[in-house]
Amino acid sequence: MTIEDFRPEKQITTFYPPQRVLMGPGPSDTHPRVLNAMARPTLGHLDPVFADMMEELKSLIRYAFQTRNRMTFSVSGPGSVGMEMCFVNMIVPGDKVIVCRNGVFGGRMIENVERHGGVAVVVDDKWGEPVDPQKVEDALKQNPDAKILAFVHAETSTGVLSDAETLCGLAQRHNCLTIVDTVTSLGGSPLKVDEWGIDAIYSGSQKCLSCPPGLSPVSFSERVTELVKNRKEKVHSWFMDLNLLLNYWGSANRTYHHTAPTNSLYALHESLVMLSEEGLEHSWVRHQRNHKAFKAGLEIFGINYVVDERYRLPQLNSVYVPEGVDEKEVRRRLLDNYSLEIGAGLGDFSGKVWRFGLMGYASRIENVIFCLNALETVFSDMGMKLEHGAAEAAAHQFYAANPMPVSFSG
């Protein structure tokens, strides 16, 4: 055989992706400023200028999480790596962990506990409902030897927001550490690590931070840092060993750990600069306002939400597919005709719900109106009787009646 025998049969040329409007469960649209940041000159990951940027990045992540934790940084990998980093560092074989499951990602937490040799005590709640604090308190009382309470703050598979402050308070009263998944909530819903007493937290770059996927902001309390330092056996992952990463992210004299994704970190830095410029509180209100305007439009189509309004995620609108509507065909037409991506249901919700993301840069008035108009056309073409322009009008009426606050205090 010759070298040419290994050449691909199809002639491959430069890849140019289509321009999409990403209104699914993630990734969300990347802001142009963030894309521009990724195109800047690549630096070595031990370059002193890059080290200065890393310090700024840590400070920006602390602001987003509302924490002063020293060990706050970005893991080189998506939110799933941030999840595994928490579990692999904090669990030793035999540890009992109470895990709350009310959707797909609570199930992934259970998988992590078991893979790392822990014993999972599962607290189940119905999909679309928040974690029940009473069930958690009962589990903590029945398992006084439990070491960790783990739960998802914003369950992406259902669009429900659980009461992290109350759950963390319960864990503290029972001398339990906490691991909290905030992949979908960071930047879009109120989140206060220090005030709520969260011990280990992870998120993702691709949701409300308007950044490409591939990075996971994390933060660890001093209790966790000391726990990991005093482990009697090595962490069962070299790459995610917090003790080793302390010498790269946490040390003034950085030592080589891995080749950090420098340009991706520029992007996260820029996205967090933008969040700081906007202000966290403003971002939370913006997400809520666009969600409510979108809801006003969806109601014109007779579309109902999966989650009770009290626990509904503004950035992840999970709704039931109207009876008699081909949910796959709607998604196909939106993608083919409008280059608009929305999400399907997962697991128990497969074929039953759509998931509309209004996250970060995608949480804009023009996206709300564009999506409502596209849905109206698709529904009409499929035979649904609708009043032309009514959904858009309902959204505009909400915006007119609820202007964004000019400023915030505190």
Write down the pLDDT at residue 251: 61
Q: What is the pLDDT of residues 204-222, one digit of tens each?
A: 999 999 999 999 999 999 9
From 7, 387, 292, 311, select the one nearest 132 (Cα to Cα): 311
Given this model, what pLDDT does residue 410 score? 37
| For residues 159-188, average pLDDT | 98
Contact in structure between 199 and 71 (CB atoms under 8 Å): no
**Amino acid, single-letter form, for residue 350:** S
Task: For the chain, give the longest Cα–Cα distance.
Answer: 72
The two three-digit tokens of residue 300, written as one number: 């014109």
Query: How much is the pLDDT for 21?
Result: 98
Burial readout 27-51 (b: 16 or more C-beta within 10 A, e: otherwise): bbbbbeebeebbeeeebebeeeebe
Is the CB of residue 363 less than 8 Å from the CB of residue 290? yes
DSSP string, 71-114: EEEEEES-HHHHHHHHHHHH--TT-EEEEEESSHHHHHHHHHHH
Which residue, 358, 359, 341, 361, is CA-closest to 395? Answer: 358
pLDDT at position 278 over 90: yes
Name the residue among 216, 219, 209 with its Cα closest to residue 287. 209
CB contact at 8 A, 87 and 228:
no
Provide the b/e sequence for 133-167 (b: ≥16 CB within 10 Å).
eeebbebbeebeebbbbbbbbbbbbbbbbbbbeeb
* Domains identified in the chain and CATH numbers: 33-277 (3.40.640.10), 279-401 (3.90.1150.10)
User: What's the pLDDT score for residue 361?
Assistant: 97
DSSP state of 196: H
My answer on whether omega of the bond before 27 falls inside 30° of 0, hence cis, is yes
* Mean pLDDT, range 264-270, rounded to an integer: 98
Q: Pull the structure tokens for residue 386.
A: 């609708």
Beta strands in 95-165 (DSSP E): 96-101, 119-124, 148-152, 154-155, 160-161
Integer-rounded Cα Rg, in Å, for the chain is 22
Query: H-helix or E-strand containing 319?
Result: strand 316-320
Query: Parallel, antiparallel, or unpaired: how do β-strands 71-76 and 215-220 relate?
Result: antiparallel
If one counts every other C-beta atom within 10 angstroms of the C-beta of residue 53, the result is 16
Q: Residue 409's pLDDT band (boundaries 50, 70, 90)?
A: very low
More confident site: 10 or 124: 124
Nearest residue to 78 via CA among 214, 258, 262 = 214
Average pLDDT over residues 91-109: 97
Query: What is the pLDDT averaged over residues 349-355?
Result: 96
**132-139 average pLDDT score:** 98
Please indicate whether residue 4 or residue 172 has the higher confidence score (pLDDT): 172
Q: pLDDT by residue (tens digit) across 231-266? A: 999 999 999 999 888 777 766 667 778 888 999 999
For the segment 61-65, the average pLDDT, to the nearest whole number, is: 98
The answer to whether 198 and 187 have CB atoms below 8 angstroms apart is no
